[in-house]
């Protein structure tokens, strides 16, 4: 009987194992407990997919992998994912922003339902340190032992030991953090923990709208995550412009209508006071609306609506996903099998695929996991 090894029991590896026929001998390897990485997703609620049912819209949410995923999602898309979850006892609901969660709001519950589906598989709690392509299969060396399998799926995620994959002949697109906070120069330590709603950030002529949270060394929040994703492959430093107010404001009219209000109080109706005080610290904030000269008006506009920041890096350990991984042109997107090594498959974030926030990264795991599992069934059944 042919044997299958799944290296990495995260969402992608488990989805793959679940979809391999039950009469096939499947062994999952993980250096950790299976599906540990699912637990923090969606803040513990597991935002497992998104209601982008139209494939053309869906693939636009992947700054890396858009073209590759078109065919993947045609085979196993959002509706297939919802049906699959329902079939294993996970009912879901959709938030206003399109994000889909389990009704239980519990990643732990999703994990348990998945584990029930793989309890027929073998599980080896060891770290794989090398995989060698030998006659009729692969020799897998772990930190404890050596094994032989005919077919291997690598689903080791974004924190993979990519050397193992390079040694099999594959090209690795350099991994870098995505969906993360950014380090700014200057940074505003005094504003740490302060958030500003609905800002507009502009970078390379693209706008990102959303809330910003100041950190000890920079900025984070939904709009920054999206920016960090699109800019993941760019070199640092790069410049961004922040409009903290993101409204068309006739400042002169505003000052005229508030002739005896201080600049501080006028601006504080638009922004948190702490932001006003910190950002405009070089301007006399006690000045009244009727005395604000055009030079000061210009400074206010520049600081609050057209403020240029240098982005010098990503915040340490802040990434949610990794951009980079196994080069997509070396993988067949109809089967997820390597184009270079027969019987070697890939699934999930180990591939050079990463999506925006909203359930897209897990969707990549469900779809590539499903396709690799099904492709292995077809291959083994052909040989029977
Ligand atoms: C805090 C946080 C929240 C997130 N929330 C969401 C969300 O709500 N929605 C969403 O879509 N995405 C979310 N993501 C992203 C999502 O979790 C990942 O994209 C997804 O887990 C990737 O799955 P994977 O199976 O490809 O890899 P992983 O989840 O990284 O799993 C890989 C597995 O392989 C094992 N492994 C690695 N190397 C070896 C080795 N050499 N030997 C043995 N085992 C090995 C690891 O221990 C791990 O269990 C979140 C990520 C984080 C960090």
CB of residue 157 inside a 6 A radius of ligand 1: yes
Tell which atom from ligand 1 comes closest to the C-alpha of 158.
30
Ligand 1, atom 35, lies closest to the CA of 8
Q: Find the 154 Cα to ligand 1 centroid distance in Å.
A: 13
CB of residue 128 inside a 6 A radius of ligand 1: yes
CB of residue 11 inside a 6 A radius of ligand 1: yes
Ligand 1, atom 28, lies closest to the CA of 157
Predicted structure pTM score: 0.96
| Cα gap 38→107, rounded to integer Å | 6
| Cα gap 307→200, rounded to integer Å | 11
- Whole-number pLDDT of residue 163: 98
CB of residue 348 inside a 6 A radius of ligand 1: yes
Q: Find the 135 Cα to ligand 1 centroid distance in Å.
A: 31
Ligand 1, atom 29, lies closest to the CA of 10
Q: Find the 10 Cα to ligand 1 centroid distance in Å.
A: 6
Cα 290 to its chain centre, rounded Å, is 49
Ligand 1, atom 51, lies closest to the CA of 320
- Whole-number pLDDT of residue 317: 77
- Whole-number pLDDT of residue 383: 75
196: helix, strand or coil: strand
Ligand 1, atom 37, lies closest to the CA of 156
CB of residue 30 inside a 6 A radius of ligand 1: yes
Catalogue all structural domains in the chain, each as residue range(s) with its CATH number: 3-177+321-383 (3.50.50.60), 182-314 (no CATH)
What are the pLDDT tens digits along the chain (384 aa)? 899 999 999 999 999 999 999 999 999 999 999 999 999 999 999 999 999 999 999 999 999 999 999 999 999 999 999 999 999 999 999 999 999 999 999 999 999 999 999 999 999 999 999 999 999 999 999 999 999 999 999 999 999 999 999 999 999 999 999 999 999 988 889 999 999 999 999 999 999 999 999 999 999 999 999 999 999 999 999 999 999 999 999 999 999 999 999 999 999 999 999 999 999 999 999 999 999 999 999 999 999 999 999 999 999 877 799 999 999 999 999 999 999 999 999 999 999 999 999 999 999 999 999 999 999 999 998 876
CB of residue 61 inside a 6 A radius of ligand 1: no
Find, among 27, 326, 22, 34, the residue nearest to 151 by Cα: 27
Which residues, other chains included, contact 355 with Cβ-Cβ below 8 Å and sequence gap of 6+?
Answer: 61, 62, 63, 65, 229, 321, 361, 363, 364
Task: Spell out the alpha helix ranges (H) of the chain.
Answer: 11-18, 55-59, 66-75, 78-87, 107-117, 162-166, 222-230, 251-257, 263-268, 273-279, 294-305, 360-383
| Cα gap 112→377, rounded to integer Å | 25
Strands 321-326 and 172-178: antiparallel
Q: Find the 184 Cα to ligand 1 centroid distance in Å.
A: 28
| Cα gap 225→320, rounded to integer Å | 9
Q: What is the DSSP letter of 191?
A: G
CB of residue 326 inside a 6 A radius of ligand 1: no
| Cα gap 353→298, rounded to integer Å | 43
Q: Find the 144 Cα to ligand 1 centroid distance in Å.
A: 23
Find, among 232, 273, 274, the residue nearest to 65 by Cα: 232
Q: Find the 274 Cα to ligand 1 centroid distance in Å.
A: 37
| Cα gap 139→125, rounded to integer Å | 17
CB of residue 47 inside a 6 A radius of ligand 1: yes
Q: Is the peptide bond before 186 cis (omega within 30 degrees of 0)?
A: yes
92: helix, strand or coil: strand
| Cα gap 197→221, rounded to integer Å | 10
Rg of the chain taking only CA atoms, in angstroms = 25
CB of residue 42 inside a 6 A radius of ligand 1: yes
């Amino acid at each position: 009987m042919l044997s299958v090894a799944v290296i990495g029991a995260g969402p992608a590896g488990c989805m793959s194992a679940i979809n391999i026929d039950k009469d096939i001998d499947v062994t999952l390897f993980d250096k950790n407990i299976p599906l540990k990485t699912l637990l923090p997703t969606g803040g513990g609620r597991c935002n497992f997919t998104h209601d982008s049912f139209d494939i053309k819209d869906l693939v636009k949410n992947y700054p890396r992998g858009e073209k590759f995923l078109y065919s993947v999602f045609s085979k196993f898309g959002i509706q297939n994912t919802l049906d699959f979850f329902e079939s294993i006892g996970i009912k879901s609901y959709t938030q206003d922003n399109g994000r889909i969660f389990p009704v239980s709001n519990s990643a732990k519950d999703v994990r348990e339902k998945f584990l029930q589906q793989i309890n027929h598989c073998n599980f080896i709690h060891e770290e794989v340190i090398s995989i060698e392509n030998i006659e009729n299969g692969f020799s897998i060396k772990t930190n404890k032992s050596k094994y032989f399998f005919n077919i291997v799926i690598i689903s080791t995620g974004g924190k993979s030991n990519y050397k193992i994959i390079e040694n099999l002949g594959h090209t690795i697109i350099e991994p870098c953090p995505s969906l993360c906070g950014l380090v700014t120069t200057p940074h505003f330590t005094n504003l740490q923990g302060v958030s500003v709603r609905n800002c507009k950030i502009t970078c390379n002529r693209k706008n990102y709208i959303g809330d910003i949270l100041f950190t000890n060394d920079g900025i984070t929040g939904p709009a920054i995550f999206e920016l960090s994703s699109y800019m993941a492959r760019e070199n640092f430093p790069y410049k961004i412009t922040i409009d903290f107010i993101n409204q068309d404001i006739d400042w002169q009219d505003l000052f005229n209508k508030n002739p005896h209000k201080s600049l501080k109080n006028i601006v504080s109706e638009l922004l948190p006071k702490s932001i006003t005080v910190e950002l405009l610290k070089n301007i006399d904030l006690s000045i009244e609306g009727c005395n604000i000269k055009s030079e000061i008006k210009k400074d206010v506009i520049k600081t609050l609506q057209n403020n240029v920041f240098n982005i010098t890096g990503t915040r340490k350990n802040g990434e949610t996903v990794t951009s980079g991984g196994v080069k997509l042109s070396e993988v067949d997107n109809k089967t997820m099998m390597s184009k270079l090594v027969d019987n070697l498959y890939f699934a999930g974030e180990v591939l050079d695929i990463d999506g925006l926030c909203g359930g897209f990264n897990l969707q990549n795991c469900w779809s590539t996991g499903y396709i690799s599992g099904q492709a292995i069934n077809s291959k083994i059944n052909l040989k029977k």
